[in-house]
Amino acid sequence: MSKKITMDTNKIGFYSKLLLAFSPRRIEKYPTSKREEIRVLRVICQRPYFTGSGINHVNLLQKGKQKSIKQASVFGHPVGEPNPLSKILDSEYIFPITFFNPKKPNNSSDIPFPVVGMSDEMPYESTTFSSFDEEMLEIYLEQFAKQLQAAVSKFQPNIIHSHHLWLVTSLCRVLFPQIPLLATCHNTALRQMELSPQLRDFVKRPTQGIDAIAVIDEIQQKRVEKLYDFNEGVQGRNQFFHIGQGINTNIFSPPETPNKRDFEDPIKLIYVGKLNYSKGVPQLIRAFKEVAKESSIPLQLNIIGSGQGPQKEKIYSMGKECGEEVCFLGQLDQEKLAKYFRKSDLFILPSFYDGFPKVLLEALSSGCRAIITDLPGIKTTLFNKCGPNQTVQFIPMPKMKTIDEPLPEEIPEFVENLKTLIKKQISFILEQEDNFEYAQEIRRAFGWDALFQAYFKKYQQLLDS
């Protein structure tokens, strides 16, 4: 385990001190007209497209473009890589903060270390927030501050919409108290509150001063209130609103007709996510290997996603032991992923820590059955929106050693439970012809149109208040 870093407040820089000194009092906004054109500056501290929040950021930009909303974007980006937003925004409204790129070490960048990930295991080479000392923190904040100030000066937004209740969102609050700030909560920031304790005090009070905080549900809201020390006075501002999850139904849809199956055709299982231990990938491969050995029907497991370091290498090694039955397909864009979902029978996500994973909804809306760990809020949200259904089966959560690591003695039972559910779902697949009613119900309940409308309504409320 790496040594915990502490911050010496006598050594921190200007922007770090700004965050610490912020007072979350009610801030008077400049008066705005109800008919004022909405201009949204969208902010994310890491790379667009590569994670759930990155896809969320891009989907908001795409939907905003369809609705003819004026938009600009500030985001983290490895120097020398192609501009990821050039097909959505005009170049004058794209404001990347460039990070050191190990693939192009001679290129000059704004920040001298790789893009910092909201997870400690990212699908690309990254820096962890838990490694931040006083100098790294100030470099990071200063460079984001420069681009945020440039974006606000040039684009003149009247709404800032930022992802993650973390450092860059806190910086938005402190630098622009007069501009309404909406922040979307993702569980990765809540996890960083535990993994990077030296940074907690820099984000608590600015987070309390955010005008509107989008959370998935009541469970996530209570976690935010606890971790960020929301008191009754702050809670009285009614900052929270429940947004749920959303998927791009233009991309994720079931096959027009059920896939025809010959007896020789394998039942296709699919995992999508990071290749690390906290996602339960080793346990998935182990369970699959044992079920495949016992099965009279051929099985295939496609693993989609990427990772870094020893955990990825160990997972690759385990998969190769299964031969051709396990295929690693790497990171795929949304269109290619949707095609694999439509050809698959069963999606499995045995994660030990997650929020409400968007990929579960994408798989279900594409016609897959699913197995997922019984994480807080998922079953309740699905049942409330779409009713109880055997399409999704839940693995009991093991007792945990840390926030995302089960106790070693709990793993054998977890694998056995996963094996049982895989066999159960295979029986459903063989016995029933899916008419995709549940897939269509998921698409109606979690489509991006409804989600975007909820955000748009909140933008209007912030401008009118």
Which 8-state DSSP code applies to residue 424?
H
Which residues on neighbouring strands pair with residue 402, listed in sequence order?
405
| Domains and their CATH numbers in the chain | 39-246+447-464 (3.40.50.2000), 267-445 (3.40.50.2000)
Q: Please give the mean pLDDT across all residues of the chain.
A: 91
Whole-prediction pTM: 0.82
Which 8-state DSSP code applies to residue 247?
B
C-alpha 432/C-alpha 434 separation (Å) is 6
- Short-list 427, 408, 403, CA closest to 351: 403
Q: Which residue has the tokens 């108290």?
A: 177
Q: Is residue 188 within 8 Å of 213, Cβ to Cβ?
A: no
Q: Rounded to the nearest 10 degrees, how much is the dihedral formed by the CA atoms of 385, 386, 389, 394?
A: -30
Per-position pLDDT tens, the chain of length 465: 455 788 999 999 999 999 999 987 655 555 554 557 899 999 999 999 888 888 889 989 999 999 999 999 999 999 999 999 999 999 999 999 999 999 999 999 999 999 999 988 787 889 999 999 999 999 999 999 999 999 999 999 999 999 999 999 999 999 999 999 999 999 999 999 999 999 999 999 999 999 999 998 888 999 999 999 997 555 445 899 998 888 889 899 999 887 777 767 899 999 999 999 999 999 999 999 999 999 999 999 999 998 888 999 999 999 999 999 999 999 898 899 999 999 999 999 999 988 788 899 999 999 999 999 999 889 988 988 888 889 999 999 999 998 889 999 999 999 999 999 999 999 999 987 777 999 999 999 898 888 899 999 999 999 987
Residue 446 has a CB neighbour count (10 Å cut-off) of 26
The one-letter amino acid at 80 = G
Extract the tokens encoding 444: 């109606």
Where does residue 269 rank: exposed (0-12), middle (13-18), buried (19+ CB within 10 A)? buried
